[in-house]
Each structure stands twice: as C-alpha cells, then as structure tokens.
Structure 1
C-alpha cells in the first residue's frame, strides 16, 4: 500500500474533521451567546412588565377613589374662590392656616404661570414657562376656562413627593388656584407603591443599575431633592425622552463607560384612563453588561477548552479512520503486488483523458516473455519480485505525468499523454533496455536450468 496515499488521506480527514469541529463549536457558541442575550432580555422585559403593571395597578386603584378626592378638592377650591372674591389680595392670606385646615398645599399661579404665593415656600417663584413648556400651555388653557380640573398622580416639582393636583381659575382669569394633596401618606399608596417595586427590582436583578419614572415634563417621580432642577432629565437623554413621549415607541441609548456599557431604555406609559396631564409618563431602565460579559467570558473559556478537546479528538480519530480505510480504498484502484494502478483505474483514467477536448493519448502494452518459466523454475516468490522490479522500472522511465497499470499476470499498460511520436519511440526503447537489464539475472538462471 502506498504510504503517500495514506498520508494524503490522513491529511484530508484531519482538515475535514477540524473544519467540521470548528464549525459545530462556533455555531454552538453563537447559539449559546444568543440564549444568554435572550435570558437578559427576558429579565428586562420582566422588570418592565412589573413596573408598568404596578403603575397601571396604582392608577386603577386611584381611579376608584380619585373622584371622591377630586370632589373634596373642588369643594375646597370653590371655598378659596369665594375667599378670593371677598379678598383678592393674596398677600393677606394665611396660607399656613389654610394648609392646616384643608390638609393640602395651596398654590397661586399668576398669568405668567409663575407661583407667586403658596403654603409650600420652596415652590414660590417657580416659573412653569421656563421649566415645563407643554404643561405651561395647559395651565394657560385652564386659567382661561371656568371649570374645575384635576390630574391624576403626579409629583411635587421641587421635593419629588407624589401628589394629586387640582386647578380652579379665578373669574377674572388672572390666577389659577392650585391644590396639592400628598398621596405618599395615604394607606392605599403604601399598599401599591411602585417606588418599592423599583427598589426591589434594582436590588434583585444584577443587570439593572437604575429604574426611574418621569412625568410628562421629564421630572423623576418619587425622588426627593432640595434642588428641583436635579430631578429633571437633561442633556443627551432629553431628546430621546421627548421622542418616546411623542411617538409612543420605546427607544434605547448605549453609553460607553470605563467598566463596560450602560444601556438606557426609555419606555412610554399611558394610563388606561387619561386623567389630566400626569397620567402620561416615561419609564427609564438603565442596565449594565457586567453579568453578560462575565457569563460570556466564562462560556468563552469553556468554549476554547471544549474546542481544543474536540480538535484533539478529531485529529486522533482521523488517524484511526485513515489507517482503517486507506488500505481498502487504495486496493480498490491499485495492484496489491506492484503498487501500480489496476485495470479499473486504467479504464477510468483512459476515459477521462479521451474526454478532454483535443486530447491525444498513446497506449503502450508491455508483456514479459517466458514469465511462466520464472514461476516454474524459481518459484512464485521470485516471480512476484520480478514483477515488482518491472513495475518500478516502468514508473521511473515514463515519469509522474504519465500513467502505468498492471492489468494481468505479466501484462502492463501505459498511457502517454500528448507526447510526440518520436518521444514515444525513445520511451519505448528506454523501457526495453532497462527492463532487459533488470531481468537479465532471471534469464540466465532459466537458461541454465532449462
């Protein structure tokens, strides 16, 4: 059997096994990577559904008794309106006493939508035209009207406290009397507090860095601060916030940090029943890639280890397969004694060369005279050795570009491809000369014994 053939077969099997193993390993790694991404996305969807669901729950709960609160706020607003008609000088009003009597904060907004008087001192001087353009336009509409209006759950612009607000225009349309009721102290809010859900999700889910709920003007709901400006979304995020609020479609922004990426996902929220300005919100979930990178790094190391094991196994298996199948494959097209091609291989090769366009071939048949005498006088062992010597001689003379085969006991065929007739004659003469030289020893012995 040709060692060269087995070597080629082994190399081919190794390359095929390596490529197949690498392809399977890479596809498996990509599949695993996708599953990790899906797993993280599911966590985020769960957090999103939970916070949105909590917001919807509290909106529905407040909707149930919202009108009861609104009736009380309307009653107080009309009492304050009557007080204004009796005494339009707000400077003389005792706002602290009114707050104690009603259990609500009172705000007086002038025609410029600026808080001029209030029981809540930090809000005096707040200009809604500067901070909240869309809300300021709504305040203009309400001040020009004549009816009582109220919003759902909203937040105090400075402190971040969650409140319910109502509005009553004065008959001269110069002012808006606003009432603010703190909802955080209400038992129902404590039972359905979405801020607790936010803290719970942030602590439980490692990939989430922060969850914030913004009202229609971009203020963070539930975050308390002495500086109201710190509570409002700004910079590069405000444009996305505004787009999400207007389009009703979620958006994401990726921010690169020294220790990884932060993804800001902005999700629009609208209560099932819109009540005023405050039931339109945007939920922002900020999540990191720390866990994802850690898991991917771990799986990457496992992938490399598994790949090396698979590659080593593939190489070893290739050697084993090559040794098992090389010989039968080789013998299917080769003569087992001489190593030359057999009759099947010869017919196949001749057909291929004849089918080539404008291809010319020469056939040469070689037969050993008195070969039977060698077997009879010297034995089949010497006869086999003689055939091997002749086969080797034929291969050396015709060269690697031509084709030689053993098709019978002492019969050999040679295909010479596209060679001039003069060259064919030279090859024939060289073959006769070399073969006669190689078998002269056998001729001498046979002549002596015969």
Structure 2
C-alpha cells in the first residue's frame, strides 16, 4: 500500500507539473495570437480612418484653390441684391425664382428669428435655425447684426444633403440676412477629388464597415439625404466629439445588428465659419474579429489537449524511470514499509511540534537469525514480509510503520494514548506469533517478539527518543521476550 501511494503521489505531481507547463505555454501563445488579431483589426480600422481624413483634407485644399473666386462672385451678387433691398425693402414682393435665375444661385431670406421666410429652394422655407442648429443660430445673429459680407466653406443643404457653399449679407436695418447658396456637386474639382468615391471603395474593401458618414457640426450628413436625428446616447457621444475634438466610440445597432459607432473630429486647415468643422461617423462591426477569436480559441483548446496528451505520455515515461528509484530512497525494498531515512525525517518533523507529543514503538524478532540459518533466506524474507503486513494491519492507518533494518521494525504513533498503544502491543505480539507459526511450523526454532515503547518529552531529540525506545526494548527482552515494555516503568509488563 505505501508503495502504491508513493507512486500515485509521484504520478499526480508529474501530471500537475505537465498541466501547469502545458497551460502556461499554450496560454502565452494563444494570447500572442489573440493580440495580433486584435491589432490587425485596429490597424485596418485606423487605415480606413486615415484614408477618409486624408481625402477630406485633400478636398478642402483643392476646394480652397477656387473658393476665393466663388466667394467674390457671391459677394458681388449679394451687393446687387442689397441694392434691390434699398430700393424695395418689402421682401414679400420679390420674385425669388427670378433672383435665382439672375444670380445663378439659390436665394434665401432669413429673418431676425433665424427662420427662412422666403427662398427659391421651396423645401427650406420655414426652416428654423434656432430649433435645429443652436450654435449656427448664434453665428447668424452675429452676422445679421454686423455690416459685412460673410461666406462659409463646404457645407450641406439640410433637406437633401447636397454640397453647397453659402454666403450671408446683412441688411442695413439688421432685419434680414440675404443668403446665397451655390451647388458644388457638379463642380469639376469634386469629381477629381471625390471623397465619397473613396468612402464607397472603403465600404467595399473592408467587410467590417457598415457605413461611413460625414456630418457637419450640427449633425447633418453631407451629400446623403439622412436626417440629423440620432438616438440620444449616440447624439451625446457625437456632441462630446464636437466639443472636445477627441475621438469617441459607442455600441449601438445597424439594421438590427450589433454595431460600434466611432466618431472622428475633423477640422479643415483653412477655417471658414463652423462649416469646416465636421465629424466622420464610422459604423462597423466586429463579426470577423469575433469569428477569428472564436476560431483561435477552439484551436487553443485543441492544441492544449494535444500538448496535454503528449505531456501526459512523457510524464508517464519519466514516472517509469524515476518512480522506483525515488520510492526506494525512502522505502524498504522487501516489505514496502518506510526505511530508516524516511523514519528519521518523520520523527524530526514531529519533534518540531513541541505541543504535540507522540510515541515510538520498537519491534524486534528474537532468534530471527536461526530462521535464516536453518530454513534459508527465502523463508526469512517471507517472515519479514508477513511481519510487516501484520504490523500495518494491527496499528491502524493513522500510524506510520518503518523497517530500520534486519528484523527491527518501528512505529510512529502521532496522537494515541498509552493505553491504546499497550493494547496494540498485545495484539501485535499475538498476531505476529500466529503468523510465525504458520510459516516455520513446528520446527525447533522459537521466534519471539519483543516491543519497546517510548513517549516524546520536551527536550527530546531523534537520538534520545530512539535510545529510550531501544532501552525499553532491551528491558522487554531481559524479562522473557514475547512482551512489551514502556520506557520508565521498570515493573510494567504484559505477556502475549
């Protein structure tokens, strides 16, 4: 039994070590692969972001090259229109379609409430900037109360998403703003530097992209007829991006599918009002990323099982190599009991527990040499094996037997009282004598059993405690054998 227990302990230890090493190596490799996949996904997203922002900068720079000429044209038209206002300030009498035809641009009249009251672009009549565009409404107030012409950069027609350039001229009485709008979509420059074609190519090339939109600072989408309204949580994140100039991201849905919304701030190099401040909205998913991570996780599990199998096999081989030598280092090869080295280690460890006294029982077979001399060593070995088995059977599982050499055995009792140990001693003498008779029969060899018992005391060492048990054993031999003796009790003896 001790041998099997020791081998089991070695096996469990080797398996546990193999499991630990296997898991650590596989876990590190899996994390490296996982990190690489995540970084690749981030890199693709960063590439898409960089491409869009670069395209916007290119468009704005190209637009700036001819913007001054267009601004001058709009200023001249605004001055002519202002002259008409001087002649006839009753704006309700004006023919807006005729003005559009004359200027080659859409015309709008914005009152002191920042509402478009008249326009050649009928869809915008009634548009209230105080309700839809608070920050822009403040800009309009400032322009209406001023005295100079003002123009913006690239902007959006709210109802259609059409790209336009807008200009503003206040009337002398500060009652109105005369607004002009020039459509830019058909301009050659926007066909040469087409950011929306770049966006379409990105949406096609990167399968994780749902949609890329460009919004102005009020949330309106450039060139797409999409309402400015966003869910409250996304609108809050959008506004944080506008206010802070820092990229933000939020979870959401796209056509009832899980999505992430990423908001990138953009500001043109040449600012013209707030129209050149924009936000790029990227709606994307992580389905492919999650699929790859799930795939690699499954591969990790399979790899772990394969490596584990190999590690277990190697552990078994190592166990076969080292278990027996390691076992024999602390166990008697004949009986399987612990040997002297193991016994001394156990006693030294017990002596350190000063508040836990214990007992030693030394067992010796008298006249054992006669068995070897007359019956042979094989019979002697068989007698030792039977004696060891009998000791194990009688002392109980919580006590520790050992063979010190030859016919000398010893038992460590960690917690038993003296009465318990003396009862066990009597039982041992009877059982061992019976087993001996079964082996040597009625031959004229009288093999007897002598037992010495010693209890640990404060100040004891391995040598002193061993010597006490040895003295008690010697005393039991002097008194006739087949008996036990407790150290310190010269008259106390029991016969089997």
Task: Find the counterpart in structure 1 of residue 456 from structure 2.
Answer: none
Q: Tell me which moved more, 191-200 or 150-159.
A: 191-200
Q: Tell me which moved more, 172-181 or 113-122.
A: 113-122
Task: Find the counterpart in structure 2 of residue 227 from structure 1.
Answer: none
Q: Structure 2 length normalisation: TM-score?
A: 0.81
The reply to whether residue 389 of structure 1 matches residue 390 of structure 2 is no
Contact 2:371 2:445 in 1 (8 A): no
Q: Distance in 1 between matches of 2:296 and 2:131?
A: 52
Task: Find the counterpart in structure 1 of residue 481 from structure 2.
Answer: none
Deviations 1:376-434 (A, max 9, x none): 33332222222212222222222222222112222222223343334333333333333
Is the alpha carbon distance of 1:426 and 1:242 closer, same or farther for their aligned partners in structure 2, counting shifts above 3 Å? closer
Q: Distance in 1 between matches of 2:265 and 2:193?
A: 20
Task: Find the counterpart in structure 2 of residue 213 from structure 1.
Answer: 214
Task: Find the counterpart in structure 1 of residue 459 from structure 2.
Answer: none
- Give the unaligned 5+ runs of structure 2: 447-496
Is the alpha carbon distance of 1:312 and 1:378 closer, same or farther for their aligned partners in structure 2, counting shifts above 3 Å? same
Which is bigger in relative contact order (C-alpha 8 A, separation at least 6)? 1
Contact 1:207 1:291 in 2 (8 A): yes
Is the alpha carbon distance of 1:27 and 1:173 closer, same or farther for their aligned partners in structure 2, counting shifts above 3 Å? same
Q: How many residues align?
A: 443
Q: Distance in 2 between matches of 1:108 and 1:194?
A: 31
Contact 1:73 1:179 in 2 (8 A): yes
Q: Tell me which moved more, 8-17 or 238-247.
A: 8-17
Q: Distance in 1 between matches of 2:253 and 2:123?
A: 37
Q: Distance in 1 between matches of 2:46 and 2:402?
A: 72
- Any residues of structure 2 matched to 1:67-82 within 5 Å, and which? 67-82=68-83
Q: Distance in 1 between matches of 2:305 and 2:59?
A: 56
- Any residues of structure 2 matched to 1:240-255 within 5 Å, and which? 240-255=237-252
Contact 1:116 1:125 in 2 (8 A): yes
Q: Note the C-alpha offset of 1:320.
A: 3.2
Q: Distance in 1 between matches of 2:206 and 2:17?
A: 44
Q: How big is the alpha-carbon RMSD for the aligned residues of Structure 1 and Structure 2?
A: 2.7
Contact 1:160 1:231 in 2 (8 A): no
Contact 2:254 2:283 in 1 (8 A): no
3-state secondary structure, aligned to 2:366: coil
Q: Specify which of 426, 439, 442 is matched with residue 440 of structure 2.
A: 442
- Any residues of structure 2 matched to 1:41-52 within 5 Å, and which? 41-52=42-53
Is the alpha carbon distance of 1:391 and 1:332 closer, same or farther for their aligned partners in structure 2, counting shifts above 3 Å? same
Q: Structure 1 length normalisation: TM-score?
A: 0.88
Deviations 1:102-126 (A, max 9, x none): 4322222222323233333333333
Contact 1:54 1:194 in 2 (8 A): yes
Q: Note the C-alpha offset of 1:340.
A: 0.9
The reply to whether residue 233 of structure 1 matches residue 229 of structure 2 is yes
Contact 2:372 2:380 in 1 (8 A): yes
Q: Distance in 2 between matches of 1:88 and 1:418?
A: 115
Contact 1:99 1:119 in 2 (8 A): yes
Contact 1:163 1:183 in 2 (8 A): yes
